[in-house]
Amino acid sequence: MSTDMYGVRVLAVNPDELRARLRVFVVYYDVGSRTHVPLPNEEPNTFLHFLWEAASGYLGSGDERTGPLGHAVSTSQLLDYEWADANARRFISRVERVELRNFPLTDDQWEDMHDFYYVRDGSWKDEDLLVQAEYEIRVTDRRWLEPLTVGDGWGSAAFPLNGDSWSAEDAPHIPDLARPAVTLRPFQTTTGDVEYDHVNAMGFSDDGAYLAVCSDQGRVWVYDTADWSEVVHAHAGDWIVPLMMWVPGGHVLVVKSYSSGGEPEEEEQWAYDVDRRSEVEAPFQRGHLRSPDGTYRISPNGAGEGGFDLHGDEREPFRRVSHAGGWDPIQCTAFSGDSSRLFLGAQENLYTVDPATGEVIDKIDGASKRLFALAANKDGGYLAVGSFSRRLGYLGFHEERPHELCVWRMADKKIIFGRQMRTYVEALSWSPDNRWLAAALEPLSDESFNNGSTELVVFPMGPVDD
C-alpha cells in the first residue's frame, strides 16, 4: 500500500463552467528533520492524478474503472510519467494556486505535527493545522468533474511532476519538440579525424535562408533552410575555441577565436560568402554575439561578475552590464529576434537585460540547476532553454545527466513545454522568421561523446495534440 502524500477536498465544483476549487493538504512529514513534501505547483500533472483517483471510481466487476476519467486514462498511462508530462494538459487546461495556509510551519506548530496523517471517512486529524493550499482548476470536458461533490475528500499518493501547460494561445509561438522537421548529421559528410570534435556554434542568417554550424575544430557547414540541403562544407582554419558570426545584412559568415575579454580582440578572422561559395574579405566582427539588427554586440567584461558588456562596432565596449552585483558567471546568451532583449543565463539564474540601457529588467532566481543553452523568439516572449533535467528522479536516469529542452513563457516566467532528451543540448538557434528552432544534440555515450556524432534537430513551430 502506497503512503499518501496529499489529502484533497472539493470546495466547489461547476461542471458546466469546467471549473472546480480544491484544497490540497500535505499529509506526509518528517518531524525529526522538520521537512515535508512540497505543495503541488501549478502544472496540471498532479491534478490529473487527483481527479483520476477521485472520479474514475473503483474497479468494476470486469476489472475496469467505472468513472469517465478512468475510461479516458488507463492506469498504465497515468503511471507512465513521460506520457503524463506530455498529456495532462489535454484534461486539465489550467491550475492556479489562490490561497496558502500554514506555510511555513513555525517551531511551535512543528511540536504538534506527526509524520503521517491518514484519511478516515473523508477527513484527516487536525485538518486545519496541516500545510495546505487552495487551487482553482479548469478542465477540458465537463465529464471529468461530474462525479465530484462539494465536501468529497480522499488521500493521494501522487507527487509533483513537471509537465506541459501550454495553451492554444501559446502554440503558434513555441516549437513542436515532439515532431522534428528534419535531423541533420553534419559529420557524416566530413573526412579526417573527428576525435574530440563536436558542434560548438550554430546560427541562422538574418533572413533565415541559411543555418550555419561550426565545430570545435573549425569545420563549417551551411544548410539551405528551403530544403535543408548542405550547400557549404569548409574548414575555417585552426582557431582557439572557434566563434562563429554572420556579417549583418547578408550571407557572409566569419569564424574567429574566442576572446577572454582581458584585452581588445585580435582582428583576425576567416570570412566566407555563402552566395558566392568562396572565401572573401569582410569587416572584422567584434564580440561574442551580436543582436539580429547588428546594433549591439556583447563581449566579456572585467567587472568581477563573469558577465558581458555591450558595444557596437567600436573597439571598446560602451555600456557595462552589471547583472548580479557579485560573481555569477554567464554560461549562455541570446538576443530576442527584434533585438529588444538580451538574455543572460548564469549557472542557475536567468537575467533579462534591456540592451538600450544595459540595465537588468528582470531576473529568475534558480531557473535551473544548470543552464547550458538559450534561444529567444522574435519578441522575446518565449525562450528555449537547454538545462539539467527536472525529471531525473521519476524518469530513472539516476547518475546520468541528460539535458531537458524547455520552453519558458517569459510573461509569467513559467516553463510551459518540455522534452526530456537522451542527449546533451550543445547549442540552440531560433530562426528570425519564427518558423524553426534548431538544436545541436550530443549523444550521452562515452564512445561517441564529442567524436563527430552531434546531430542537428530542427523543430517546427506549433505543437499539436495527438
**pLDDT, tens digit, 9 for 90 and up, residues 222-250:** 999 999 999 999 999 999 899 999 999 99
For residue 85, the surrounding DSSP H or E stretch is helix 81-87
Tell me the CATH architecture of domain 171-460. Answer: 7 Propeller (2.130)
**pLDDT computed for residue 1 by the predictor:** 42
Q: How does 189-217 read in b/e, with b if 16+ C-beta sit within 10 Å?
A: ebeeebeebbbbbbbbbbebbbbbbbbbb
The tens digit of pLDDT for each residue in 60-84 reads 455 455 678 888 898 889 888 889 8
Average pLDDT over residues 154-183: 90
pTM of the model: 0.86
Dihedral, CA of residue 167, residue 171, residue 177 and residue 179, to nearest 10? 120
Average pLDDT over residues 96-115: 95
Average pLDDT over residues 175-201: 91
Every domain of the chain with CATH number 2.130.10.10 lies at: 171-460
**pLDDT computed for residue 415 by the predictor:** 93
Phi, psi of 231 (to 5 degrees): -110, -15
Average pLDDT over residues 350-363: 95
Distance, in Å, from the CA atom of 300 to the CA atom of 117, rounded to the nearest integer, reads 54
The tens digit of pLDDT for each residue in 144-166 reads 998 899 999 999 988 888 888 88
Phi, psi of 18 (to 5 degrees): 60, 35
At 466, the pLDDT band (50, 70, 90 cuts) reads low
**pLDDT computed for residue 64 by the predictor:** 54
| DSSP assignment of 102-170 | S-SPPHHHHHT--SB---BTTB-TTGGGS-EEEEEEEESSGGGTTT--TT-EEEE-----------TTT
**Does the pLDDT at position 14 exceed 80?**
yes
DSSP state of 65: B
Give the strands of the sheet with 359-364, arranged side by side: 330-335, 342-346, 350-354, 359-364
**pLDDT computed for residue 93 by the predictor:** 92
